[in-house]
Amino acid sequence: ALRGRGLDVHLFQRSGHVLQPFGEAVADRVEPELTAQGVTVHTATPVEALCGDDRIEAISYDGGRQPVDLAVVGVGITPNTGVVADTDIELGAGGAIATDKFGQTSRPDVYAAGDCATAHHTVTGEDTWMPLGLTANRGGRAIGSTVAGNPEPVGDIAGTAVVKAFDLECGRVGLIDDEAAREAGFEPVRKTITAESRSGYYPGGAETDVTLVADRETGRLLGGAIVGADRAAVRINTLATALNEEMGVAEVERLDLAYAPPFSPVWDPILVAAKVLRGSIQ
């Protein structure tokens, strides 16, 4: 939006890549896209201070100072649990209100859902805190049903997320970080492939990168990420469904995904990625 208005945009990122939750393979596509669109990307560059008296005039960072007229700050969020601060209701992952699979807190007549509450991770089976819109809506509905006498679980969360960087669409789900996968007791193996989004002869296709991560010992799919300019993001929902069913990579490879030239090649990019990953696990 800012580039569209002709502003000179600088993006400062503390970590080595943008979009860290989406993994390096996605960042490797997004960073050049941002640069090509006129954004100056400063990775591994923590901002030290916002400078100015009456209004912001510059930001300072290690070894530099960038004059600015406007700063948009996005440095993460924490759960707002103030409403239970003076109670004995227990907190859990990420400092959010600890809940069970029905959204019940440690006090039986109090339920919590959404950004203030923990959720159950689809892959690790552990409590986690991932503040996302569907989780909040789904939790609210389920709790309404439960307290009205029809117990309904709030559902697990796999961290399914999509984002757009100019014309590039990105998606991520599950465990795509090796360290997180090891912490959860898995031995992660990963593969990234590049495939066409449509049949090669059909106009409008684009290169789509799919990363899949699986457990070496069991072959279970742990997570995935996707990036591309042609309707790439929603393809992540296939992987979200596979994770929910605890599928192995071989099962993903055998999924009956739709093929017709305007929408997908015969082998959907996700099937190609599963085939390649399975080959490296065997």
Check binding of 110 to ligand FAD (CB under 6 A): no
DSSP state of 219: -
The pairing of strands 40-42 and 10-12 is parallel
Check binding of 114 to ligand FAD (CB under 6 A): yes
Closest C-alpha to 151, from 96, 115, 111, 92: 111
- Using CA atoms, how far residue 96 sits from 85, 86, 112, 121, 224, in Å, is 11, 15, 10, 14, 26
- Identify the residue among 16, 38, 52, 133 touching ligand FAD (CB under 6 A): 133
- Using CA atoms, how far residue 16 sits from 44, 93, 177, 239, 270, in Å, is 4, 25, 14, 26, 27
Footprint of ligand FAD on 83-102 (CB under 6 A): 83
From CA 22, how far away is CA 215, in angstroms rounded? 19
Contact window for ligand FAD (CB under 6 A) among 35-43, 49-57, 104-112, 128-136: 128-136
**Residue (68 or 119) nearer to ligand FAD, CB:** 119
Check binding of 23 to ligand FAD (CB under 6 A): no
Closest C-alpha to 78, from 67, 91, 64: 91
Contact window for ligand FAD (CB under 6 A) among 92-100, 130-138, 164-172, 235-243: 130-138
From CA 178, how far away is CA 211, in angstroms rounded? 12
Q: By CB under 6 A, how many residues form the interface with ligand FAD?
A: 8
**Residue (71 or 136) nearer to ligand FAD, CB:** 136
Q: Which residue is nearest to ligand FAD (CB)?
A: 114
**Residue (11 or 257) nearer to ligand FAD, CB:** 11
The answer to whether the CB of 274 falls within 8 A of the CB of 253 is yes
Contact window for ligand FAD (CB under 6 A) among 133-141, 212-220, 236-244, 248-256: 133-141
**Residue (13 or 160) nearer to ligand FAD, CB:** 160
Contact window for ligand FAD (CB under 6 A) among 88-96, 129-137, 150-158, 228-236: 129-137
**Residue (60 or 78) nearer to ligand FAD, CB:** 78
Footprint of ligand FAD on 51-90 (CB under 6 A): 83
Q: Up-side HSE of residue 61: CA atoms within 13 Å toward CB?
A: 15
The answer to whether the CB of 79 falls within 8 A of the CB of 58 is no
Q: How far is the CB of 186 from ligand FAD (least distance, A)?
A: 25
Contact window for ligand FAD (CB under 6 A) among 32-40, 125-133, 222-230, 255-263: 125-133
Neighbours of 63 (CB within 10 A): 7
Contact window for ligand FAD (CB under 6 A) among 132-140, 175-183, 196-204, 270-278: 132-140
- Identify the residue among 56, 81, 127, 131 touching ligand FAD (CB under 6 A): 131
Specify the long-range contacts of residues 107-115, CB closer than 8 Å, at least 24 apart: 110/84, 111/143, 111/146, 111/147, 112/84, 113/139, 113/140, 113/142, 113/143, 113/154, 114/139, 114/140, 115/77, 115/79, 115/80
Which residues of the chain form contacts with ligand FAD (CB under 6 A)? 83, 114-115, 131-134, 136
